[in-house]
A and B are shown apart, each in its own frame.
Chain A
Amino acid sequence: MNRQELKAALGEAFAVPPPEGKRAFLRALPPAPVSHLRFLLDQTGYIRPAVWAVSLGVFVLGLTAGQLVPADGLWVTAALTPFAALAAAAEGSRSAFHGMEELELASRFGLKSTFLARMGALGLVHLVLLAALAAIGGGGFFRTGAYFLTPYLLTDLLCLAALRRIRGKEGLYVCGVIAVLVAGLAAAGDHRVLYGPKSFRWWLAALAVIAALTGREYCKKVKIMEELSWS
């Protein structure tokens, strides 16, 4: 008997009668509790690779534009951020897109929790990437950050509002149009005036209003999900 045969034979030598109460015990077990961090990490794993690819693509393109054409890098990156927001909106409406909302509402981790976890993870990654772009690009961190964050949040806000009214594929197509329009808005006009020091206070005001409205839109979305689970 060689070493491998011996190892295989040991399994037989240590054979025991099958457990009789295993099935009943496993059936009676409550589901194992999951920590918030573990839940967040688990849900992050379910975000589609395409969404990460778009996010990374926006970051790389923004970085490249900043290096190749420093004078135009600012508005090019600002015009790219709506597409990262579109990717996030597409991820957020994935259940509705596939008609799986009802099933997810009835599952162990409800639609609200998974939505908040995934959007939280994606939003955090986007914020870090935009902050990195703002730090690398010239013109001051907060100023550049405001230029990048405003079109991003505007797209997010409009997409959330659109997806609340138009469901399924059509909603996502509308979001695509919104992203293109916001990108066009960020790229149009005289860039020296639009991204100049005099316009910055308007950017800040717009950012504050859009951020508040986006927050309100997320609250509405969560409330709808809660109502759905009760109905």
Chain B
Amino acid sequence: MDIEEQYDKIYRYCCHRTRSPAAAEDITQETFLRWLAAGPDRDDGHALRWLYTVARNLCADEHRRRKPEPLPEELPAPGGEGDALDRIGLRAALGELTEEERELILLRYVNQEPVNVIAGALGMSRFAVYRRTAAILEKLRRRLKED
């Protein structure tokens, strides 16, 4: 498994769980150090499930320890006025989702993790992951259409 490649994904995941880039970076590094100490598993799917599970638990510990800090509101990507409106609309639509739904969307469509990895990390069946991600995506599309 390429740690460099997975670092960004775990960091992004932690960032959205903790709402604090500094805490997310600490947790990401702690996750990889624990993975190395445990004896790295070369099976990528298993390693990813392990990394996400540990990162998730560490984020939960962090959440219990301190108050979350909000992420910066500005979106970094440039674009036209229409794009900006779309992005604002999407951000608002994402805000209406539950924490678990946002987590699923982030893992599946942003980090582009395989369904079996997500299922293993979140303790769901593969079918449930398929069904729920499709439903959430449809919900977002409907919400954006309404706007």
Residue ranges of A at the interface with B (Cβ–Cβ < 8 Å) = 1, 3, 6-7, 9-17, 19-22, 25-26, 29-30, 32-33, 35, 38
Q: Which of A6, A15, A29 contacts B144 (CB 8 A)?
A: A6
- Tell me, yes or no, whether B132 is within 8 Å of chain A by CB: no
Per the bound structure, the CA–CA distance linking A13 and B109 in Å amounts to 11
**Cβ–Cβ contact B72 & A12, under 8 A:** no
4 tightest Cβ-Cβ pairs between the two chains A and B? A16-B15, A12-B77, A14-B110, A17-B21
Q: A13-B94, A30-B36, A32-B40 are in contact. Are A6 and B141 (CB under 8 A)?
A: yes
**Cβ–Cβ contact B144 & A1, under 8 A:** yes
Q: A19-B8, A19-B11 are in contact. Are A29 and B3 (CB under 8 A)?
A: yes
Q: List chain B residues, Cβ under 8 A from A32.
A: 3, 36, 40
Is chain B's binding surface mostly helix, strand, loop or mixed?
Answer: helix
Per the bound structure, the CA–CA distance linking A19 and B39 in Å amounts to 25
Q: A12-B87, A14-B12 are in contact. Are A6 and B140 (CB under 8 A)?
A: yes
29 A-B contact pairs sorted by A residue (CB < 8 Å): A3-B141, A6-B140, A6-B144, A7-B137, A9-B86, A10-B90, A12-B76, A12-B77, A13-B75, A14-B12, A14-B16, A15-B77, A16-B11, A16-B16, A16-B21, A17-B21, A19-B8, A19-B21, A19-B25, A19-B28, A20-B25, A21-B29, A22-B11, A32-B3, A32-B36, A33-B39, A33-B40, A35-B42, A38-B42
Give a binary string over B109-147; 1 marks a CB under 8 Å from any A CB, 0 the rest: 110000000000000000000000000010011001000
| Interface bracket on B | 35 or more
Q: List chain B residues, Cβ under 8 A from A38.
A: 42
Give a binary string over B93-116; 1 marks a CB under 8 Å from any A CB, 0 the rest: 010000000000110011000000
What is the distance, in angstroms, from B67's C-beta to the closest C-beta of chain A? 19
Q: List chain B residues, Cβ under 8 A from A11.
A: 109-110
Q: Tell me the total A-B contact number using a CB cutoff of 8 A.
A: 81
**Cβ–Cβ contact B137 & A16, under 8 A:** no
Told that A16-B24, A32-B3, A32-B36 touch, could you supply 12 new A-B pairs with CB distance under 8 A? A10-B105, A12-B76, A13-B75, A14-B110, A15-B76, A20-B21, A21-B25, A22-B4, A22-B7, A22-B25, A33-B39, A35-B42
Q: A3-B141, A19-B8, A19-B28 are in contact. Are A13 and B36 (CB under 8 A)?
A: no
Per the bound structure, the CA–CA distance linking A83 and B99 in Å amounts to 65
- Tell me, yes or no, whether B71 is within 8 Å of chain A by CB: yes
**Cβ–Cβ contact B105 & A9, under 8 A:** no
What is the distance, in angstroms, from B40's C-beta to the closest C-beta of chain A? 5
Per the bound structure, the CA–CA distance linking A143 and B87 in Å amounts to 78
**Cβ–Cβ contact A6 & B137, under 8 A:** yes
- Tell me, yes or no, whether B32 is within 8 Å of chain A by CB: yes
Give a binary string over B4-20; 1 marks a CB under 8 Å from any A CB, 0 the rest: 10011001100110000
Per the bound structure, the CA–CA distance linking A1 and B83 in Å amounts to 10
Q: List chain B residues, Cβ under 8 A from A9.
A: 86-87, 90
Chain B residue nearest in CB terms to A16: B15
Per the bound structure, the CA–CA distance linking A30 and B33 in Å amounts to 10
Per the bound structure, the CA–CA distance linking A35 and B29 in Å amounts to 23
- Tell me, yes or no, whether B91 is within 8 Å of chain A by CB: yes
Per the bound structure, the CA–CA distance linking A40 and B117 in Å amounts to 27
Q: Which of A13, A16, A30, A35 contacts B87 (CB 8 A)?
A: A13
